Amino acid sequence: MTIISKDIPKAIRLLTDENVVAIPTETVYGLAGNIYSSKAIKSIFSTKNRPFYNPLIVHIHSITALEDIVTHVPEKAARLASAFWPGSMTLVLPKHNAIPDLITAGKNTVAVRIPNHPLTLDLLSKLPFPLAAPSANPFGSISPTTPKHVEHYFKNEIKQILDGGSCTKGIESTIIGFENEKPVIYRLGALSLEAIEAVVGKVEIKNKKESNPNAPGMLGRHYAPCTKTILSHSILKDLDTYQDNSVGLISFTQTFKHTSINTQINLSAKGNMEEAAANLYNALHTLDHLKLDVIIAENLPNYGLGQSINDRLQRATFTK
Ligand code: AMP
Ligand code: MG
């Protein structure tokens, strides 16, 4: 029997009994549990093999639920929340005492967002508690954007994957913290820098690749396939370099011809960044399953979601 279903009452039963359930969001699938159940939260960490220093994102249904999660909302955070929630933006704010340390890795801040997916909003509105939900993948691997991706990773570990179809945004949320009331981007993501700056003005980005980062979405190697992956600024040159290998190619708009190409995936034939983001992880999953020698991914123009996609590709290919 498949564990993939649209059965919300079943998800409510499982979550109320302190189990974890995979849930759809517009960004990627999450592995969700009751934020107040240490059993559920511990099982999120153990299922993902996620280190406890990596805090989780709390998912709520409405802005009014925010008062149980955080103690202070800077003016610019309030503006961002009203502009983009429900949506692909996570805010890091001072945490309420009731939020367990396990969720926040002992930090005095908590990451929170209202996801924009009808099924999960329906689920959250029917639950008496918020859900902690990191991405539903083993730590460091490619995030899931379809129920099948989650099933591939966890079919023996979890009892239900709530089927919300393919994620429309396809990369993780943009994470924004506040330092002296000023917004700082900790992780680039599905909401573009330009969209954020249109609401709050110039924003600093602090998402350098580090080995022991503030926000582990900043880890050097993360979001990575098992297959060796190259981020390419010159596709034809790199295809020549790997001419004796079997290559999986991820290109933005253009189709390339070369004897080394085994399989080629265009992220967006019409050059649309949103479409490219939505297709990115599925392309990485597909090519990774083919067990090729190398995946070559094209560096995108570095603006809008191109910047977020390039960030993910750099981390997928980071080797030091
Ligand atoms: P995931 O849900 O798997 O995309 O991971 C959640 C991301 O949110 C991780 O990169 C965390 O480091 C980040 N995060 C969660 N809580 C905090 C926090 N209090 N401060 C900074 N980053 C956070
Ligand atoms: Mg993740």
Tens-of-pLDDT digits for all 320 residues of the chain? 679 999 999 999 999 999 999 999 999 999 999 999 999 999 999 999 999 999 999 999 999 999 999 999 999 999 999 999 999 999 999 999 999 999 999 999 999 999 999 999 999 999 999 999 999 999 999 999 999 999 999 999 999 999 999 999 999 999 999 999 999 999 999 999 999 999 999 999 997 655 445 555 555 566 789 999 999 999 999 999 999 999 999 999 999 999 999 999 999 999 999 999 999 999 999 999 999 999 999 999 999 999 999 999 998 886 54
Question: What is the per-residue pLDDT across 157-198, written as a single tens digit (0 to 9) for each?
Answer: 999 999 999 999 999 999 999 999 999 999 999 999 999 999
- Is the C-beta atom of 172 inside 6 A of ligand 1? yes
Half-sphere exposure (Cβ direction) of 270: Cα atoms closer than 13 Å: 3
* 135 CA from centroid of ligand 2 (Å): 4
* Helix pair 118-126, 8-16: axis angle to 10 deg: 50
* 113 CA from centroid of ligand 1 (Å): 11
Query: Quick one: which atom of ligand 1 is closest to the CA of 143?
Result: 3
Please state, in angstroms and rounded to a whole number, the distance separating the CA atoms of residues 57 and 29: 13
Which residues pair with residue 6 across a beta bridge?
A: none
Instruction: Provide the sign of the torsion angle of the four alpha carbons 276, 282, 286, 291, taken in this order.
Output: positive
Q: What domains can you pick out in the chain, each with its CATH number?
A: 3-205 (3.90.870.10), 229-316 (3.40.50.11030)
Task: Provide the token pair at 127.
Answer: 């639950």
- Is the C-beta atom of 115 inside 6 A of ligand 1? no
Whole-Å CA distances, 137 to 32, 50, 55, 133, 295: 12, 10, 15, 11, 20
* 264 CA from centroid of ligand 1 (Å): 33
Going by DSSP bridges, is the β-strand pair 21-23/30-34 parallel, antiparallel, or unpaired?
antiparallel
- Is the C-beta atom of 93 inside 6 A of ligand 1? no
Query: Quick one: which atom of ligand 1 is closest to the CA of 133?
Result: 2
| Phi, psi angles (nearest 5°) of residue 73 | -120, 105
pTM confidence score: 0.94
